[in-house]
């Protein structure tokens, strides 16, 4: 089947457009008067031929795409031009026509400048103390107190001035400082050369829903740029078409944080810990959480962990990481769970591939 026919056959199923300019419906087609639109992640975009939007074109060409990726394609549909389907493509994604065109590179996210660890992390059984410089993008988020900062959440450095964390770590809270390059915050003998940088501002995703815990992602902007060295490095964002379309179910991914050792435990390690967690399908995850609460397990989250290894209180906002060749990528943000390592209940993570356009537009 030719690519042109696949484009028309697939996107002709779409009946709803999220473009924000005025138009009118003809059958199941929405004719456009202008070409500005809103993407499914609520970013400003252009309504263009899908063959000029390389990331969505790559998704369409991937016959093994997930239901969530199919949904993204359908939601990106924004009309027709001379009977050719168009999609809402962010300005960062647009490219010239033809399959050989590539989206412009993110200057903060070159593969030789992000996600590089100087420590070879082998398979982790259970949780263990992390080695110095194993995860140089780890961030501690400090909150206002009468004496010293309270390190209540984690985050992930994505460029010199921005840290990605959970929205619930930001909303209605006073963030004061971010610490980078730390290993054990209760000692100066760990050989870590940490740096504390004041927070300039912090903001949650505009669609963050605290009651349903959807779109639980936010960005912290630092007052000054961090200097990269062996202790401080950014992680890669999952912006490639390969990662946007990757099915991670069943994979064993990495987490790290300074969270507690158990549910309602007062034991919070000052030492950074690391673990591996297995990704569960959203269908299994939704079935588990349906037993106890009205959780929303949809394509914007992923679930990982189990009865022996999980994130816990204090880990919120920290990363779920996937290694691709020599680079680690931020694939999830720790959001919530049922207790910690409770049998049958994985941790729930914000799926970063669903929000990477929003992140890139705000850093």
Residues with catalytic annotation? 168, 216, 316
The Cα–Cα gap between 213 and 140 comes to 22
Exposed e or buried b for every residue in 23-50, given b needs 16+ CB within 10 A? Answer: beeeeebbebeebebbbbbbbebbbbbb
| Residues 6+ away with beta carbon under 8 Å from 336 | 168, 213, 216, 316, 347, 348
For the record, the structure tokens of 171 come out as: 């909303």
Displacement of CA 280 from its chain's centroid (Å):
17
* Cβ proximity of 77 and 59 under 8 Å: no
* Cβ proximity of 48 and 86 under 8 Å: yes
Dihedral sign computed on CA atoms, order 49, 52, 53, 54: positive
């Amino acid at each position: 089947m030719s690519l042109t026919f696949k484009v028309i056959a697939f996107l002709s199923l779409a009946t709803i457009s999220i473009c924000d300019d005025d138009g009118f419906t003809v059958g199941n087609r929405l004719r456009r008067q202008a070409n500005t639109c809103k993407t499914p992640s609520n970013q400003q975009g252009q309504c263009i031929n899908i063959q000029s939007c390389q990331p969505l074109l790559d998704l369409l060409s991937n016959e093994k795409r997930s239901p969530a990726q199919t949904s993204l394609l359908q939601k990106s549909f924004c009309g027709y031009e001379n009977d050719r389907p168009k999609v809402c493509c962010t300005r960062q994604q647009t490219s010239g026509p033809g399959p050989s065109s590539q989206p412009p590179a993110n200057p903060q996210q070159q593969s030789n400048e992000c996600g590089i660890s100087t420590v070879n992390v082998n398979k982790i059984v259970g949780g263990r103390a992390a080695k110095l410089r194993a995860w140089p993008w780890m961030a501690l988020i400090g909150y206002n107190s009468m004496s010293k900062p309270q390190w209540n959440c984690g985050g992930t450095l994505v460029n010199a001035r921005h840290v990605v964390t959970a929205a619930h770590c930001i909303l209605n809270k006073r963030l004061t400082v971010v610490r980078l390059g730390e290993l054990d915050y209760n000692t100066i003998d760990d050989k870590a050369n940490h740096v504390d940088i004041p927070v300039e501002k912090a903001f949650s995703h505009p669609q963050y829903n605290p009651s349903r815990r959807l779109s639980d992602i936010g960005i912290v902007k630092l007052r000054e740029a961090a200097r990269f060295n062996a202790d401080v490095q950014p992680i890669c964002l999952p912006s490639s078409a390969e990662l946007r379309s990757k099915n991670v179910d069943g994979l064993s991914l990495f987490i790290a944080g300074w969270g507690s050792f158990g549910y309602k435990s007062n034991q919070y390690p000052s030492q950074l810990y690391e673990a591996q967690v297995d990704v569960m399908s959203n269908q299994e995850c939704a079935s588990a959480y349906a037993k106890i609460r009205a959780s929303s397990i949809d394509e914007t989250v992923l679930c990982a962990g189990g009865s022996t290894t999980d994130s816990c209180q204090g880990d919120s906002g920290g990363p779920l990481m996937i290694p691709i060749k020599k680079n680690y990528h931020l694939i999830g943000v720790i959001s919530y769970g049922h207790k910690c390592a409770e049998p049958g209940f994985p941790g729930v993570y914000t799926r970063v591939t669903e929000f990477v356009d929003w992140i890139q537009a705000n850093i």
